[in-house]
Amino acid sequence: MILVGRIAAMMRTTAVLFALTLPLGVIAQQAAPGDLVLQARAILHKHCSACHGGPGGKGEITVFHRAGLDRPSRPFLQLSQILELIEDGSMPPGNRPPVPEADRRILRKWVEAGAGAYVQKYDDEYVLRTQLADVQKQSAEAIPFVRYISLTHLLTDDGSPLEPRREAMKKALNSVAKGDEKLLQPLDPAATVFRFDIRAAGWNERRFDEMKEVNEKEVRIPQPWNLFDAVLLEYPHGHYFDDQQAFEELRTAFLKPAAQIRPIAFLRGDWVADFLPHLPIAAELRSIVGKPAKARERTPPLQLLITAKRTPMLPFDALSQASVELVPPPFKVTYFETIDTKTKEAKKQFKIGESFTIHMHASQDIFVEIALTDSKGDTDLLPMQKVDRNVPAYIRPEGADGFAIPESTPLGTSTLTFFAAEAKFQAGTVLKGRGLADRVLHGFFELDKPLAGFDPMKMIKRTIEIEIVK
């Protein structure tokens, strides 16, 4: 389990919760096409799987997936005939209770709508294969700009409607993108996997530079990362699907031409709906694409489950997630605080003209890299240094008593973030934003695998805040 600090949480609205508790028959009257498919699937599973479940189903029929309703030896048998058997009470047979009228109504609507296909398992493999099939239909020019979102992990066996979540996802995306409700295109009959184009969203703009010294002058070198890449840095659920062949094929077909800042195949729709609109990146996106501004929110931590068979892509470089560390942590950082250079006292508020020193204490020898970010998002990255175990470390500029706070320092909340590991790691790069706060980028997660020679699971990130006042 991983604790990720300060990312947004939004409870489902009362209307959504009410909709999820309604009987299927009530919902069916206004069911979205995708939900009609899911409800029909749930009804057939519930009433018919005892006899028609699995490959040995009676009459060559299985209700576990849509194709199983077609008899190989009797192709002339129509789905409507199966529905007639249910309608007249012949199915289920014997003393089994008949299918309720409300459920039969749903099945009729589903058949009249074309009996959209469903599958036995809506899992990660299904998402990846649906995505791969779509990528293979795209032109070479389009692939670098298509992106994918999934809601399959929210599906329940009882056919509870997904439409409230679809609408929440569309609304959230629309609030931070140029597009409208048509930005998301469903890829499957159940409307659980979606594609969108970052060009239509206005997220293909490249707004990051790297400062480099050229002929003894610092110049900004444009970087290839776009606004969607900034979103990916915030995404906490990324991982390599090492156990899925479809992911291996997507590496070449999609992830390589997309050239994302993190090789993440798709986003979870509930994260897009419930978290993205409330993160600092959302305010930046709204400003860039011309959407109304909203007040920034403070939010509680999020807990993530990490499976042993999959390698996670931990969100070390996210602005919104102040802490990323294993539980239990690989080592303990007892202190990470700011000390007044003159009084030697720990404090979190400093005046212009004062200076501070960073105090750290760790249980192991560690390598530490610290990022200093002012209230306007301008970031400086201190050189990596070693901190000895059980020895108080006082970090300050070379040749100075502490970090001075000059008149040019913007007032407000500044942050100090450390990245630490027992092994020396690849130093971060400051991406200078244009219309965006700066980001620190670590190349821990490459296209094929995590960076060779370093285990990100043994790293800790933590952030503290200080207030700069007059």
Greatest alpha-carbon pair distance for the chain in Å reads 90
Residue 6 is predicted with a pLDDT of: 34
Of the pLDDT bands very low, low, confident and very high (cuts 50, 70, 90), residue 321 is confident
Residue 88 is predicted with a pLDDT of: 82
Whether residue 130 sits in one domain with residue 95:
no
Residue 73 is predicted with a pLDDT of: 62
If you search the block for the tokens 């200076």, which residue do you land on? 355
Of the pLDDT bands very low, low, confident and very high (cuts 50, 70, 90), residue 26 is very low
Whether residue 236 sits in one domain with residue 279:
yes
Whether residue 424 sits in one domain with residue 350:
yes
The contacts of residue 18 (CB under 8 Å, 6+ apart) are: none
3-state per-residue secondary structure call for 377-393: CCEEECCCEEECCCCCE
Of 6-15, 20-29, 301-310, the one with minimum mean pLDDT is 6-15
pTM of the model: 0.88
Residue 385 is predicted with a pLDDT of: 94
Tally the domains of the chain.
3
Average pLDDT over residues 199-212: 96
Whether residue 244 sits in one domain with residue 148:
yes
**48: in domain:** yes
242-246-249-253 Cα dihedral, nearest 10 degrees? -120
**Contact, 269 vs 149, CB < 8 A?**
yes
Average pLDDT over residues 307-313: 77
How many CA atoms lie less than 13 Å away from 94 in the CB half-sphere? 6
The CA distance from 22 to 464, in Å, is: 45
Task: Answer yes or no: is pLDDT of 162 > 50.
Answer: yes
Angle at 207 between CA 131 and CA 201, to 5 degrees: 40
- Joined tokens for residue 244: 């899925």
Whether residue 56 sits in one domain with residue 168:
no
* Owning domain of residue 463: 328-469
pLDDT tens, 328-377? Answer: 888 999 989 999 999 999 999 999 999 999 999 999 999 999 999 999 99
Angle between helical axes of 33-52 and 101-112 (0-180°, round to 10): 120
Of the pLDDT bands very low, low, confident and very high (cuts 50, 70, 90), residue 457 is confident
Angle between helical axes of 227-234 and 280-289 (0-180°, round to 10): 170
Residue 308 is predicted with a pLDDT of: 59
Residue 14 is predicted with a pLDDT of: 30
Whether residue 88 sits in one domain with residue 37:
yes
- Boundary of a domain, candidates 240, 263, 289: 289
- Joined tokens for residue 211: 């400062």
Residue 307 is predicted with a pLDDT of: 60
Can you state the percent helix, strand and coil of the chain, rounding each to 5?
30, 25, 45
**139: in domain:** yes
Q: Which residues pair with 229 in a beta bridge?
A: none
Provide the mean pLDDT of the chain: 87
Name the amino acid, one letter, at 165: R
Of the pLDDT bands very low, low, confident and very high (cuts 50, 70, 90), residue 33 is very high
Whether residue 59 sits in one domain with residue 171:
no
Task: Answer yes or no: is pLDDT of 284 > 60.
Answer: yes
**235: in domain:** yes
First to last CA, the chain: 42
Give percent of the chain with pLDDT exceeding 90: 67
Instruction: Compute φ and ψ for 432, nearest 5 degrees.
Output: -80, 120
Whether residue 464 sits in one domain with residue 353:
yes
Whether residue 456 sits in one domain with residue 428:
yes
Of 299-313, 327-341, 363-377, 412-426, the one with minimum mean pLDDT is 299-313
Average pLDDT over residues 180-194: 93
Task: Answer yes or no: is pLDDT of 301 > 80.
Answer: no
pLDDT tens, 134-157? Answer: 999 999 999 999 999 999 999 998
- Boundary of a domain, candidates 77, 112, 147: 112
Residue 211 is predicted with a pLDDT of: 92
**163: in domain:** yes
Task: Answer yes or no: is pLDDT of 300 > 70.
Answer: no
- Boundary of a domain, candidates 289, 319, 338: 289
Of the pLDDT bands very low, low, confident and very high (cuts 50, 70, 90), residue 303 is low
Average pLDDT over residues 226-249: 95
**Bigger pLDDT: 241 vs 95:** 241
The CA distance from 62 to 52, in Å, is: 5
Whether residue 104 sits in one domain with residue 130:
no
Residue 9 is predicted with a pLDDT of: 32
**314: in domain:** no
Task: Answer yes or no: is pLDDT of 302 > 80.
Answer: no
Residue 425 is predicted with a pLDDT of: 94
- Joined tokens for residue 450: 């995590």
The CA distance from 342 to 354, in Å, is: 9
pLDDT tens, 84-117? Answer: 888 887 788 878 888 999 999 999 999 999 999 9
The CA distance from 99 to 51, in Å, is: 14
Task: Answer yes or no: is pLDDT of 16 > 90.
Answer: no
Whether residue 272 sits in one domain with residue 127:
yes
Task: Answer yes or no: is pLDDT of 435 > 60.
Answer: yes
Residue 63 is predicted with a pLDDT of: 84
The CA distance from 104 to 101, in Å, is: 5
**421: in domain:** yes
Residue 56 is predicted with a pLDDT of: 56
Name the amino acid, one letter, at 184: L
**Contact, 264 vs 313, CB < 8 A?**
yes
Of the pLDDT bands very low, low, confident and very high (cuts 50, 70, 90), residue 293 is confident
- Which pairs count as long-range contacts for 384-391, CB under 8 Å and 24+ apart, including other chains? 384/424, 384/425, 384/427, 387/360, 387/362, 387/420, 389/362, 389/363, 389/364, 389/365, 390/361, 390/362, 390/363, 391/361
**76: in domain:** yes
Domain at 418, CATH number: 2.60.40.1930
Whether residue 74 sits in one domain with residue 211:
no
**Cα–chain-centroid distance for residue 462?**
20
**320: in domain:** no
